[in-house]
Amino acid sequence: MYVYSEIDQELVDQRVEQFRDQTRRYLDGSLSDDDFKPLRLQNGLYIQRHAPMLRVAIPYGLLASGQLRTLATIARRWDRGYGHFTTRQNIQFNWPELEDVPDILAELAKVQMHAIQTSGNCIRNTTTDHFAGVAPDELINPLVWCEIIRQWSTFHPEFAFLPRKFKIAVSGAESDRAAVGVHDIGLQATRGEDGGIGFRVWVGGGLGRTPVLASLIQPFVPAAELLTYLEAVLRVYNLHGRRDNKYKARIKILVRDLTPQVFADQVDAEWRSNRNVASVLTQTEIDRIAARFTWPEYLTEASPDTVAAQAALEPEFARWLRTNTHAHRVEGYVAVSASLKASGVPPGDLTADQMDAVADLADRYSFGELRITHEQNLVFADVQRADLYAMWSALRALNLATPNIGLLTNIIACPGGDFCSLANAVSIPVAAAIQERFANIDYVHDIGELDLNISGCINACGHHHVGHIGILGVDKNGEEWYQVTVGGRQSGGLRPDLGDAFPKGGGGAAIGRIIGRAFSRDQIPDVVATLMTTYLEYRDSEAERFIDVVERIGLEPFKVAVYGEDQRGRRREVSHV
């Protein structure tokens, strides 16, 4: 966990006072709706369909047990007893009253948390992968770099009123688990020619209405120049991004309209002529920030490894090990996923009681820390192998041990029409129906790796574009219908050819394609089932995953299976505008 300095604490405390004053002025009428709106958004507060929604930041997804207990307290005291973890590693509370929000922010500040810049046209929470710092393949520790970017971006005076929201993701390894290809800026750690550490800078990726893969604008920025380069990108965007049309205002539109070449040249010119020397990072500065983290003190003596024996005795434990535990760079340690995707529970939700119990588990088994994943699950990053059986038993009792990480029923879903005024359709009931249909865990394991993502509207907060299967809620004549896409991936696809002038896609992301006309809600489980049987028919071995088969044989066999040979049942692929 990053431990606040006096300055960190002062900033959040002052922000609470500032927002308390703004809320008072709004409630007494001296601040108009229009003026209050951007100010409250920059404190994560939405006025929603049923009640205000507060989005609390969990910087780079890292949470300490004490912080999680405070989130539980907030859920109980000011909300309805639960919280929702999002695809950007934040947490949302759906029912707080506006008048209570300053007090909630004050409560958060006591445990070094806040809701700063989690909404609004500013730089949002910088995200990374949930194995940051423990994955065996990393060049850098993304947690440190995300904190550096968090500080640089928080209350940045020049970039508080951008044309639109701005999202940055950091990947510490060549193998991208942070979806750098679909962010406004994706940073991928890499080595320069002289062996020094730097970043590949991908710009202009994004999902939403116009899904687009990022372009590699700068193949190498030395680590020391990261902030000066980011400033140059942000300044070009701030000055030249469109402000006439909210749906054309993201940086991805600017990169496309200028062309990546021209955009890169403008950033380069800005960087060279107006570089903010004060923002150059020294090793001392980087070390200072790294030193403020509490790092786990790993035990090096080996304990007898009973895991294999226990797994042989209990097939359910064995199955859970296969999907919900992950490699760790330190011998004897493992990262453990807690699945928030149990059948019948809205994906990503955790009750206050579960939060307290999870905090206890973190204290007992994982150095008091845990991670929120962008797939809406939790990760205990530093668990000793010797504790795995106990961990599994405890998680099972909490309904957090569904062995489905990376599988079909590990559904990512936005809150959808039940909660969100932007939605065209509900998403949670669709997720529930799919989970119920695929309740047979053996079948789900047989299918293997499958990302299924659901968005309730074209804003794509469920990241359906990068699901192997994506489901998008649409409104047709006042009714809820669902489009199905196939073939998306967040990373790991065809590696972009870095020899190209402006390769696209970060870590190998791809956007899914619509397979045909939309379906009603009750048709969806059948459609997914048909896609599965088709996959199983065509796969050449158990090792060939759904996405592999799609990339090998294309969409046609799947379309035929779902819609039949009848041409009238199908429609031309719609290209995203």
Partner 1 sequence: MSELSFFAQPIVQTRGAEGPRVVADTWYWQALETDASVPNSLTGPTVLNLATWLEQRGKLDDVGVPLGVRLTGEVVPEALAGHLEGLTLIAIEFPTFSDGRGFSVARYLRQQLGWQGELRATGDVLIDTVNYLARCGFDSFQLKPGHEPTLALQQLRWFTRPYQRGYAPLGQQEAA
Q: Which amino acid is at 53?
A: M
By the rule CB under 8 A, 258 interacts with partner 1: no
By the rule CB under 8 A, 7 interacts with partner 1: yes
By the rule CB under 8 A, 440 interacts with partner 1: no
Is the Cβ of residue 94 or residue 266 nearer to partner 1 in the bound state?
266
Q: With contacts defined by CB under 8 A, name the span among 12-20, 63-71, 96-104, 399-407 that binds partner 1.
A: 12-20
3-state helix, strand, coil in the chain (%, to 5): 40, 15, 40
Contacts with partner 1 in 333-372 (CB under 8 A)? none
Distance between terminal CA atoms of the chain?
Answer: 42
By the rule CB under 8 A, 17 interacts with partner 1: yes
Three-class SS of residue 426?
A: coil
Contact 407, 532 (CB under 8 A): no
Is the Cβ of residue 248 or residue 513 nearer to partner 1 in the bound state?
248
Pick the binder of partner 1 from 259, 274, 303, 520 (CB under 8 A).
274
Pick the binder of partner 1 from 278, 501, 543, 577 (CB under 8 A).
278
Pick the binder of partner 1 from 108, 140, 143, 162 (CB under 8 A).
162
**DSSP summary character for residue 219:** E
Q: Which two tokens stand for residue 491?
A: 């990373």
By the rule CB under 8 A, 277 interacts with partner 1: yes
Three-class SS of residue 505?
A: coil
Minimum CB separation of residue 92 from partner 1 in Å reads: 23
Pick the binder of partner 1 from 3, 27, 30, 291 (CB under 8 A).
30
CA 297 – CA 132 distance, rounded (Å): 16
By the rule CB under 8 A, 294 interacts with partner 1: no
Contact 164, 180 (CB under 8 A): no
Pick the binder of partner 1 from 157, 195, 478, 499 (CB under 8 A).
157
Residue 197 dihedral angles phi and psi, to the nearest 5°: -80, 140
Q: Which two tokens stand for residue 136?
A: 């065996």
Q: Pattern 230-249, binding to partner 1, x per CB under 8 A?
A: -----x--xx---x------
Of 422, 415, 528, 534, residue with least CA distance to 467: 528
CA 52 – CA 96 distance, rounded (Å): 6
By the rule CB under 8 A, 156 interacts with partner 1: yes
Pick the binder of partner 1 from 3, 10, 50, 302 (CB under 8 A).
10
Distances (CA, A) of 104 to 21, 84, 96, 461: 14, 16, 9, 25
By the rule CB under 8 A, 14 interacts with partner 1: yes
Q: Which two tokens stand for residue 410?
A: 């590990």
HSE-CB for 577 with a 13 A CA cutoff? 3
Is the Cβ of residue 17 or residue 287 nearer to partner 1 in the bound state?
17
By the rule CB under 8 A, 287 interacts with partner 1: no
Is the Cβ of residue 25 or residue 209 nearer to partner 1 in the bound state?
25
Give the DSSP H/E element, type plus range, for residue 351.
strand 349-351
Minimum CB separation of residue 65 from partner 1 in Å reads: 26
By the rule CB under 8 A, 276 interacts with partner 1: yes
Long-range contacts of 317-325 (CB under 8 A, 24+ apart): 317/389, 317/392, 319/403, 319/441, 319/445, 320/392, 320/401, 320/403, 321/388, 321/392, 322/403, 322/445, 323/403, 323/404, 323/405, 323/406, 323/407, 323/445, 324/401, 324/403, 324/405, 325/388
Minimum CB separation of residue 514 from partner 1 in Å reads: 34
Minimum CB separation of residue 39 from partner 1 in Å reads: 6
Pick the binder of partner 1 from 73, 151, 175, 343 (CB under 8 A).
151
Minimum CB separation of residue 151 from partner 1 in Å reads: 4
Q: How many residues bind partner 1 (CB under 8 A)?
A: 34
By the rule CB under 8 A, 22 interacts with partner 1: yes
Q: What is the binding site for partner 1 (CB under 8 A)? A: 7, 10-11, 14, 17-18, 22, 30, 32, 35, 38-39, 121, 151-152, 154-162, 235, 238-239, 243, 273-274, 276-279
